Structure 1
């Protein structure tokens, strides 16, 4: 299994979950091996590279049967489209060409009001989702969590954090006037623990009977409660 962005918040939990299940796990990220010292880190093969670097990283796909992508981020509109869209599209196409069987993409729930402020973010993710459903019609799974909470590693320190890394967090930080508006509908999407996302992502990547398509936050909660298979 190859985890794209495996040293990040969600990615590191996915790597740990996969290692705990006894799977062979590799990670590809721009910074390579993380600085944390947990035992599972030694059981992951750490590749360093960028999905935007014209397929120079594709040797990491050799012998891989499943891929999970946690790649994404915030910034300017053009950067958000590139990192959420183009980077993942490159990965999906390369994985398809290499004969990878299953591809799981960690996307994001739709927060309505956030969309126009984060246009590049959502347009990038939607483009990646479309590419995945085209290239992996029978083995592609899209997880759409909303708020993800859990423990984030910062260097060698573990920080228990609440709602982090979500589009809403960035919107509320950079668009204070929105706080004056009644926030309804999609903003009531329940939070989900990062360990639940990791558990479902690994299952979706390894279980051949896991149905392809989109899994919303309620589906993530439901699958995570079914336990490992």
Structure 2
């Protein structure tokens, strides 16, 4: 009997020590005395860990100091993107405050050694490169220059590439053969190198306030009414020979908005977007 009582006393003592240790580990001691108030829990401050911010997408605009390119740069900055521009003349002549937030590179796409560094760290490219002149010159600027850029972007692992091309204008395609041959050659290269993430925008006449030196040309005075009228005359665009003359013009801000979206939205459909598609996407939020 004495042996049993001894074991019970020893067991009770062990349990008492166990509860005491458990309570002390939780930062408070339990008491059966109603006159005592339990001490509050002791909460230690968690160690803070520095988490780096998510990487910022970097957009390179080819021809970013031009009429369309400057609007694209500004639109991209408003979306919080890191923006760089590459052009033959380098920094834009614009004195607007947003221009100070663009990284300006000077280089010629026909001379690869002068511009390949501009593609470092770039996640998307928008090309506005184009020009007029002799057929051979137009093919080089609209075709060869853009093809060089597309190949360089593919080599650098750029995710998306958007090319500002041009709508077909029937007879004009023959009059400006070098221009359109160059554009179509660049389009073919883009769809080959970026089959799932390449976007081609084919606007017609692009209007907006265009600066020529110190002068401002308000092209919207003509372009805006024409856009409203010709949007409603879409069936006329299907007429043989003359149908392309009814292609509605599009505001430069609409082109910029769609171009930036196409360069940054992973679900934006690849391929060719005509002027009606540009107008439709520009009206979406």
Fold shared by both chains (TM-score > 0.5): yes
TM-score computed with the length of structure 2 as normaliser: 0.71
The correspondence for 2:216, drawn from 158, 165, 171, is 158
Name 1:127's counterpart in structure 2. Answer: 185
Paired residues of 1:49 and 1:57 also in contact (CA < 8 A): yes
For CA contacts below 8 A with separation 6 or more, give which structure has more relative contact order.
1
Name 1:188's counterpart in structure 2. Answer: 246
Paired residues of 1:55 and 1:94 also in contact (CA < 8 A): no
Q: Distance in 2 between matches of 1:212 and 1:72?
A: 21
Deviations 1:155-174 (A, max 9, x none): 4543312479xxxxxxxxxx
Q: Distance in 1 between matches of 2:213 and 2:255?
A: 22
Deviations 1:25-72 (A, max 9, x none): 000000011111111101100000000003430100000000000000
The correspondence for 2:108, drawn from 44, 50, 60, is 50
Paired residues of 2:88 and 2:106 also in contact (CA < 8 A): yes
Name 2:199's counterpart in structure 1. Answer: 141
Where does structure 2 lack aligned partners over 5 or more consecutive residues? Answer: 1-58, 224-239
Name 1:114's counterpart in structure 2. Answer: 172
SS at match of 1:210: coil
Q: Distance in 2 between matches of 1:86 and 1:212?
A: 22
CA RMSD between the two structures: 1.5
SS at match of 1:142: strand
SS at match of 2:86: strand
Paired residues of 2:71 and 2:253 also in contact (CA < 8 A): yes
Name 2:269's counterpart in structure 1. Answer: 211
TM-score computed with the length of structure 1 as normaliser: 0.88
Paired residues of 2:170 and 2:241 also in contact (CA < 8 A): no
Name 1:75's counterpart in structure 2. Answer: 133
Q: Distance in 1 between matches of 2:211 and 2:201?
A: 23
Q: Distance in 2 between matches of 1:183 and 1:110?
A: 11
Q: Distance in 2 between matches of 1:29 and 1:76?
A: 21
Deviations 1:92-123 (A, max 9, x none): 00000000000000000000010111110000
Higher relative strand content:
1
Paired residues of 2:65 and 2:93 also in contact (CA < 8 A): no
Q: Distance in 1 between matches of 2:260 and 2:202?
A: 15
Where does structure 1 lack aligned partners over 5 or more consecutive residues? Answer: 165-181
Q: Distance in 1 between matches of 2:91 and 2:73?
A: 12
Name 1:62's counterpart in structure 2. Answer: 120
Paired residues of 1:35 and 1:155 also in contact (CA < 8 A): no
Name 1:32's counterpart in structure 2. Answer: 90
Name 1:16's counterpart in structure 2. Answer: 74
- Displacement, 1:217? 0.3
